[in-house]
């Protein structure tokens, strides 16, 4: 699978780079970004951290705003940030910011007009890791994290693939998309109205069923404008307590939904994953 480098910036002794490639899973041209720590230039195979962004984002938001490069350089981990949906003029879209482009919800759509391109679950779990492993000197250790819609993606993907990822974490995640307006709107459009089809993408449902446990960290600001209507992390915590699942939920006073919150706690998240990626 060939990829084309379209930008490269030196950052903390390593590189921030963007690539485009033709995705056979999404049926379109895609862009992703990576942070390559300095250890890679010294010939070391490094572990990979997959970052999934939230609504309206591209590969750029995290790389430009989270301030993650310094710690990734220190810890020697590669970061991969995919886009949040398929892209291009022939890809279906919606007027709302929370459906269509920029809002793929990391599911495999089964409904029209979405199914042809909106296969983000397969893209993130299958095609993108193959591309990374085929083009970069990485080892076989992977972890996953994300924000909001991407927090949902990270936790849901980790819960479904506990042998693929050693740890998972999220900032302000949508933990129970089946029961919040963002999730109901997207799942109805992408998956249809049969709610049984939604369960495979709902972290609360998946955690309830989980047989294998992996360490999980969730950070949430209590001044987040989406907290009570969309996010409700206590729902996931209740299931985790019942199952004795190793979920750490930290509520941070005064923090909102923005990248200022992510930037404030990204070091803690990277160190959490580094412990398990070692
Ligand atoms: N209506 C808001 C909601 C979208 C939103 O808050 N997106 C979050 C993820 S759910 C985000 O990361 N936005 C981009 C950024 O802050 O860089 C908007 O369009 O900004």
pLDDT tens per residue, range 100-112: 999 999 999 999 9
pTM of the model: 0.98
200 lines ligand 1 (CB under 6 A): no
Residue 232's pLDDT is what?
95
- pLDDT band for position 117 (cuts 50, 70, 90): very high
* 137 in active site: no
Closest residue by Cα to residue 108 from 83, 85, 80: 85
* 257 in active site: yes
Task: Please state the domain count of the chain.
Answer: 1
6 has pLDDT over 90: yes
Percent of the chain with pLDDT over 90: 100
- pLDDT band for position 88 (cuts 50, 70, 90): very high
Residue 128 · residue 30 · CB < 8 Å: no
Nearest-CA residue for ligand 1 atom 17 is 61
- Mean of pLDDT values over 212-230: 98
Nearest-CA residue for ligand 1 atom 1 is 97
* 256 in active site: no
1 has pLDDT over 90: no
- pLDDT band for position 271 (cuts 50, 70, 90): very high
Range of the structural domain that residue 98 is part of: 4-277
Give the distance (Å) from ligand 1 centre to CA of residue 71.
Answer: 24
- The single residue of 148, 167, 169, 172 carrying the catalytic annotation is 148
Atom from ligand 1 closest to the CA of residue 257: 6
In this structure, what CATH number is given to the domain that contains residue 39? 3.40.50.1820
- The single residue of 152, 257, 269, 273 carrying the catalytic annotation is 257
Give the C-alpha separation, 178 to 105, whole Å: 12
The model's pLDDT over 152-169, given as tens digits with 9 standing for 90+, comes to: 999 999 999 999 999 999
Nearest-CA residue for ligand 1 atom 9 is 54
- pLDDT band for position 263 (cuts 50, 70, 90): very high
Residue 26's pLDDT is what?
98
10 has pLDDT over 90: yes
- pLDDT band for position 24 (cuts 50, 70, 90): very high
Give the distance (Å) from ligand 1 centre to CA of residue 54.
Answer: 7
244 has pLDDT over 90: yes
248 has pLDDT over 90: yes
């Amino acid at each position: 699978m060939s990829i084309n480098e379209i930008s490269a910036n030196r950052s903390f002794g390593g590189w921030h780079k963007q690539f485009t490639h033709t995705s056979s899973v999404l049926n379109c041209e895609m862009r992703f970004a990576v942070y390559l720590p300095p250890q890679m230039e010294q010939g070391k195979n490094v572990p990979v951290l997959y970052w999934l962004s939230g609504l309206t984002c591209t590969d750029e938001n995290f790389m430009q705003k989270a301030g993650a490069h310094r710690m990734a350089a220190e810890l020697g981990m590669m970061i991969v940030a995919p886009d949040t949906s398929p892209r291009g003029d022939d890809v279906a879209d919606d007027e709302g910011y929370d459906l269509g482009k920029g809002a793929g919800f990391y599911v495999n759509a089964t409904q029209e007009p979405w199914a042809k391109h909106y296969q983000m679950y397969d893209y993130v779990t299958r095609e993108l890791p193959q591309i990374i492993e085929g083009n970069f000197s990485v080892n076989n250790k992977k972890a996953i994290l994300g924000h909001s819609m991407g927090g949902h993606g990270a936790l849901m993907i980790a819960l479904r693939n506990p042998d693929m990822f050693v740890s998972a974490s999220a900032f302000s995640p949508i933990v129970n998309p089946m029961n919040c307006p963002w999730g109901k709107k997207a799942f109805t459009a992408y998956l249809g109205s049969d709610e049984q089809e939604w369960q495979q993408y709902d972290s609360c449902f998946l955690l309830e069923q989980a047989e294998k446990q992996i360490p999980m960290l969730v950070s949430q600001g209590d001044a987040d404008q989406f907290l009570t209507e969309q996010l409700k992390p206590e729902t996931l915590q209740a299931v985790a307590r019942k199952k004795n699942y190793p979920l750490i939920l930290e509520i941070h006073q005064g923090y909102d939904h923005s990248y200022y919150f992510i930037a404030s706690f990204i070091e803690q998240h990277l160190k959490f994953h580094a412990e398990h990626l070692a």
